Structures are given as C-alpha cells and as structure tokens.
Amino acid sequence: MIYSEQNSLSAHKRGSIEVICGSMFSGKTEELIRRLKRAQFAKQSVEIFKPKIDTRYSDDEVVSHDRNSIRSTPVESSGSILLMSNDVDVIGIDEAQFFDEGLVEVCNRLADQGIRVIVAGLDMDYKGIPFGPMPALCAIAEDVYKVHAICVRCGSLAYVSHRLVASDKRVLLGETQEYEPICRTCFAKVNQK
C-alpha cells in the first residue's frame, strides 16, 4: 500500500517557482541558462521567454553578458506566456522586471499545472527601489537565489545597478556604458552628491 502511494506521488508532476535575482552583471542570465540547459540535457521539454523590448544581444535568444545563449521567444506581455506553454516541463523567463504585474499570476498558474518555472530578473531598479513583479515573485517562489556582482568602486558585494547616464526613465536598456554594479556604501556616497 505504501509503495503504490509513493509511486503515484512520484508520477505526479510537481510544479515550482525559482527566482534568480540581483544587480546587473551578477550572473542572473548565466544561471538561468545553466539551469535550462541542464533541463534540456535531462530530456525535459523546455520553453524560454523574454520581453520583446530586450533586443540588446539578440531578437530571439536569451544572451548573457558572457555571450552564452539559448533560444527564446520574445513576448509582449505575461499573458502570452500562458498561451505558448503547452506540453512543457520547464519554463524559463528572463528579464522578468520588464514584464507586467500579471507575471505573478502566470507563474503561479504554470506552477499549479506542474511546470517548473525559472525566473531571472533585477530585484531593484537604478534608484534601489524593488522592480516590477520581482518582489511578488520572490515572495511566492519556493526558491530564491540572489546572485551578486562585485562593486566596481571598492570590491564589496554589489547592491544595486547604478545608472551612469542622465535619464529619469525607469526602463533604460543598457550595459557597462550605462550602468555599473556598486555596493550599498558606494551607492549612498553617489547619492549624497
């Protein structure tokens, strides 16, 4: 009797939500790609999504700053992810901070359907304010993995992505010319000026 109960439990797909967060240049996308490629190696069905506005390296791939990549589908909104998630075991979502707040419900629904959902994104914007749906995703996730860049000014663990160019736009795609990872102390010093 116990044996058959264990068999039925293992046959049931268990969904979950994993969040990878941190500042820019901390390795979030690298970790997302690593987890997704391991799932593919394990012969699991994998689908990857990214916001359509993120065209920095590629229109149809998720690409890390180290140039590692994996094929992805760019989408306009979180609702599109639900429409394209049939018959998959694992879903990867990059740059989650750029999605609408509906992403939280989408991830919950997918996990409830037995899908492993792996989400990567900035946890804070350039002002140090929690960014988009990321705080809510961290709250509902079974696993939150915070990665850290190194502060380019003092070598401590980075706290935030400091913007180097003048712009009040919350969403400003960029790289090392526009942003630098800095620690809490250096961020406070920069904001005192």
Catalytic option among 95, 142, 178, 180: 95
Q: Where are the domains of the chain?
A: 13-148
Token pair for residue 33? Answer: 């790609």
Q: Mean pLDDT, to the nearest integer, of 93-111?
A: 96
Token pair for residue 11? Answer: 């046959």
- 3-state DSSP assignment of residue 50: strand
pLDDT per position as a tens digit, 23-53: 999 999 999 999 999 999 999 999 999 988 7
Share of the chain above pLDDT 90, in %: 67
Pick the CATH number of 13-148 from 3.40.1260.20, 3.40.50.300, 3.10.129.10, 3.90.1170.50: 3.40.50.300
pLDDT per position as a tens digit, 155-187: 999 999 998 877 776 656 555 578 899 999 999
Question: Is 95 an active-site residue?
Answer: yes
